[in-house]
Structure 1
Amino acid sequence: MFRADLHCHTTCSDGTSSPEELLHQAKSIGLQGLSITDHDTTAAYTTAAPIAKKLGLLLGTGVEFSCSFEEQSVHILAYDFILSNPIIETLCKEQQFNRTKRNQVILEKLQSKGIFIEQEELNSLRGVLGRPHIAQLMIKKGYVNSIQEAFTLYLGDNKSCFYRGDLLQIEETIHLIHRAQAKVFLAHPHLLLSRSIFVKNLFKLPFDGIECYYAKISSTQEKRWVKLARSKDLLISGGSDYHGNIKSYLPLGCSWVDRDTFFSIFQNIL
């Protein structure tokens, strides 16, 4: 059976598996296809592309962006672009700059709580740096015992040290991704605010598809989004949102798509 996981992360953003480790793990569990959707970077593909060919894995390009819509955070997945596309690279750099400013504010908020992490300590870590990396340093320095504790007490949305920061505007981001001749999917829609008007307005935007199969959501949830995608003639995607040890409860391949779905999304296969 053909299975492809279209949502996973590496050490190039906030995962704990290197691109090489991720690909070998995918091969070992019987996946035939993969898309690495690191946050705000396509750096993993430099290493991943030749390894995927060697292992016989189909690799479709992907990247995840956090955007703003009606003052709420919405994640989107850009798929099937040519690597080093200047538009995609510019979006990545802009969001990385926003993340740097956001991290600085979060560190200042933590200091006000007696939690001292220097910018240099954060910069010493790998990847596109964000809250998971700050949480790792909080564990290392003995302030919390787990990433979950760090988010529950300090870093989670609307917690005392949370700061949303500047996000890409979703309308402009979708426009630019389309200019890059790539496809735009709404990521993990079940995490959206349940207000029907918000969802209704969101789907007025020109998405190409919806991530209907995600991690370990229920079949009832999956069917809801599949039904919506089909009613709007949108493509369907799915994946585990694998992050490695940071989210060990989401193993690689726990959600996947079949061959037809994979090839409906990807024409630029590495």
Structure 2
Amino acid sequence: MNLDAALNADLHCHSVISDGTLSPEALAARAKAAGVQLWSLTDHDEIGGQSRAIAAARAAGLAYLTGTEISVSFAGRVVHIVGLGFDHEAPEIVAGLRATRGGREARARDMAAGLAEAGIPGAFEGALQYVSNPDLISRTHFARFLVDAGHCSDLPEVFRRFLTEGKPGFVPHKWAALKDAVGWITRAGGVAVIAHPGRYDFTPTEEYALITEFMAHGGRGIEVVTGSHTPAEFVKYTDTALEFGLLASRGSDFHSPAESRTDLGTLPPLADKLTPVWAALAARIHH
């Protein structure tokens, strides 16, 4: 397999193990059918689906990198760090992610209480219909319940009305520190990547601070081509990767056939002048 920038790699998507709607096996089949050549399952703060994803990719004849997407707190916002190519059984990252997930059930019950005060009872039980484990419950599961129960027409409306800061169902969570998340990934043999940087609405100064602190802790990559970036942001973050000497990544951030605007494998390729993250992880690819 040629590991240049033209490779159809999709290194960011989610399964039912976190807040996606498809199983790891169904995602592997969908990726293969879409022409993906290198795939990674990057569930939120969770690596419990990695063994299944590796097996499913192998069965489909699909090259695979282990993955996760870790939520961290930075400059008063939640930033996501994707980890790729790490040992998914390394004790430190397993324990770190378990600690990060801890408290989700208590947070979810507080979210449900806020929604009940806003006239929507039963939201915790409703959200649980969309997730098997309360330790993994997230705002997305509440959003799906509110749409299916007829309180909102779609997920964006739910977040606007109920689940962002200052709204009735918003409860902050204590996420990992940037230093810890990058450390867990790198010490397990992987590469840390800043996910969808265009989503954070940082000022140039804040974005510079994020990138430089991330690199100081050992972070090496940035998502350039991703489902939430515009074509102009593809160009912007191509330049950012070159300016800072960062490896470039690519991924759809696919969650669901019904919800995601970008399907697996459908993004444009990275620019030829970039060094793709998968070139640095060739030895970590499962075949």
Q: TM-score, normalised by structure 1?
A: 0.91
Partner residue of 1:149?
Answer: 157
Partner residue of 2:85?
Answer: 80
Provide the rounded CA distance (Å) in 2 between the counterparts of 1:79 and 1:150: 31
Change (3 A) 1:119 1:221: closer
Q: Decide whether the 8 Å contact of 1:186 with 1:209 is kept in 2.
A: yes
Aligned with 1:135: secondary structure?
helix
Provide the rounded CA distance (Å) in 1 between the counterparts of 2:59 and 2:130: 29
Q: Decide whether the 8 Å contact of 1:147 with 1:246 is kept in 2.
A: no
The one of 109, 131, 137 equivalent to 1:129 is: 137
Provide the rounded CA distance (Å) in 2 between the counterparts of 1:57 and 1:148: 33
Q: Which amino acid aligns with 1:60?
A: L
Provide the rounded CA distance (Å) in 2 between the counterparts of 1:256 and 1:47: 28
Provide the rounded CA distance (Å) in 1 between the counterparts of 2:259 and 2:35: 21
Aligned with 1:212: secondary structure?
strand
Provide the rounded CA distance (Å) in 2 between the counterparts of 1:218 and 1:143: 30
Partner residue of 1:9?
Answer: 14
Q: Bigger CA drift: 147-156 or 21-30?
A: 147-156
Q: Which amino acid aligns with 1:70?
A: A
Q: Decide whether the 8 Å contact of 1:79 with 1:266 is kept in 2.
A: no
Partner residue of 1:209?
Answer: 221
Partner residue of 2:51?
Answer: 46
The one of 30, 39, 42 equivalent to 1:25 is: 30
Q: Which amino acid aligns with 1:250?
A: T
The one of 184, 197, 201 equivalent to 1:193 is: 201
Q: State the shift of 1:3 in Å.
A: 0.8
* 1:267 lines up with 2:283 in the alignment: yes
Change (3 A) 1:119 1:219: closer
Aligned with 2:284: secondary structure?
coil
Alignment map for 1:224-243 (pairs within 5 Å): 224-243=236-255
Q: Give unpaired runs (5+ residues) of structure 1.
A: none
* 1:221 lines up with 2:233 in the alignment: yes
Q: Give unpaired runs (5+ residues) of structure 2.
A: 1-5
Q: Decide whether the 8 Å contact of 2:86 with 2:186 is kept in 1.
A: no
Q: State the shift of 1:246 in Å.
A: 5.3
The one of 231, 238, 249 equivalent to 2:261 is: 249
Q: Which amino acid aligns with 1:248?
A: S
Q: TM-score, normalised by structure 2?
A: 0.86
Q: Which amino acid aligns with 2:235?
A: K
Aligned residues: CA RMSD: 2.2
Q: Which amino acid aligns with 2:108?
A: N
Alignment map for 1:101-112 (pairs within 5 Å): 101-112=106-117
Post-superposition Cα deviations, 1:72-113, rounded to whole Å, max 9, x if no partner, equal 211111111112111111122112113223212211111111
Change (3 A) 1:123 1:148: same
Q: Decide whether the 8 Å contact of 2:116 with 2:123 is kept in 1.
A: no
Provide the rounded CA distance (Å) in 1 between the counterparts of 2:17 and 2:142: 15
- Percent identical: 28
Post-superposition Cα deviations, 1:29-60, rounded to whole Å, max 9, x if no partner, equal 11111011110111222222122112110010
